Chains A and B, each alone.
Chain A
């Protein structure tokens, strides 16, 4: 569904790229966007826009139409020098074929979970698997500690071991209702249903505002704390008439 917002007023636009892609031609190399559109939360035009992003990311190091771990890190951190426990986990979860590379299908299907319209159960599942570092079907205390420490280290923050332990104690007190020292899928589910903010990184607002338009793609950015849309104050790529594709399902 395309809704044209004429006289586009207040947009806080972060323009990703302008590609010379004709809107009405199917994306080069993308075989059947309808299939993926049917099987994910994305619309056909969103799949096509996503494909443009995929092409960009996958050609960064080796131009082979596939995203390897290095290209993924590059896309995420804008540097391939950054190792991250979490980026590794995310990559592994995207890589459903377990062959160390991401094809477009894997990319689109995984990102579908992050769509604002994706079922919450999918987000709950994905996040559980993300945090289940050893993939044992439950999240152990040691894994939680590892992740907390990794996150703090990323920001250069140092909390004393005591403080970290007490934070984890409190977390397990609340989450581990079966008192077996682990958080299983059920316990995770009730925890996030009680604290929905824990799933906030499982939704990318950008994904329902992808648009293919004339000579380029405009991705309207929304940050998670303000839903305001600002006037693209003098953005030189500002285009007065935009068609915004809002996928509503």
Chain B
């Protein structure tokens, strides 16, 4: 893992926020589980919660339920340490978003090592 890979993850460098209305809806957590286990658990949890699970290239999984679209992205930060971040596409419904996060976090269970509060 290159230091610049980490640096390029900074939200301060993500100018797409200039084009977005409302707060940047992104949740992040770290995980010390294996890469495969993380993806597996995300898919499992998504499925159980009734999301349409769509695997994408580049360690990304889309979870879709009605109008809500969540993009889950897994990045290796250091050896055995992964950053999982969730972005939502639909910023209309703030309440739904808070609900989604609680349920998903429960579903993810023990792959979540450290939940980063508030972004």
Contacts and interface: CB of A to CB of B under 8 A. Distances in A.
B86 to A, nearest CB: 12
Interface string B30-42: 1000000000000
A57 B21 CA distance: 11
Contacts of A90: 12-13, 15
A156 B28 CA distance: 9
A16 B21 contact: yes
Contacts, number: 148
Given A12-B69, A167-B3, A228 B62 contact: yes
Contacts of B50: none
B110 interface: no
A53 B16 CA distance: 12
Interface of B is mostly: mixed
B5 to A, nearest CB: 7
Given A86-B12, A206-B19, 19 more contacts: A14-B20, A57-B18, A78-B22, A79-B23, A131-B7, A147-B3, A147-B7, A154-B11, A157-B83, A167-B78, A191-B4, A221-B19, A221-B89, A223-B71, A223-B89, A226-B56, A226-B71, A230-B64, A230-B69
Interface of B: 1-24, 28, 30, 54, 56-58, 60, 62, 64, 66-67, 69, 71, 73, 77-78, 81, 83, 87, 89-92, 114, 116-117, 119
Interface string A131-157: 100000000000010011011101111
Nearest to B11: A154
Given A154-B11, A198-B8, A201-B15, A14 B3 contact: no
A170 interface: yes
Contact of B13 (A171, A201, A221): A201
A226 B66 CA distance: 18
Given A206-B19, A223-B71, A233-B67, A85 B114 contact: no
Interface residues of A, number: 59
Interface of A: 12, 14-17, 53, 57, 75-79, 84-87, 90, 111, 114, 130-131, 144, 147-148, 150-152, 154-157, 159, 163, 167-168, 170-171, 174, 191, 195, 197-201, 204-206, 219, 221, 223, 225-226, 228, 230, 233-236
Contact of B91 (A14, A76, A79, A148): A14
Contact of A225 (B13, B19, B67, B73): B73
Contact of A234 (B9, B62, B66): B66
A194 B116 CA distance: 32
B12 A154 contact: yes
B6 A148 contact: yes
A90 B12 CA distance: 8
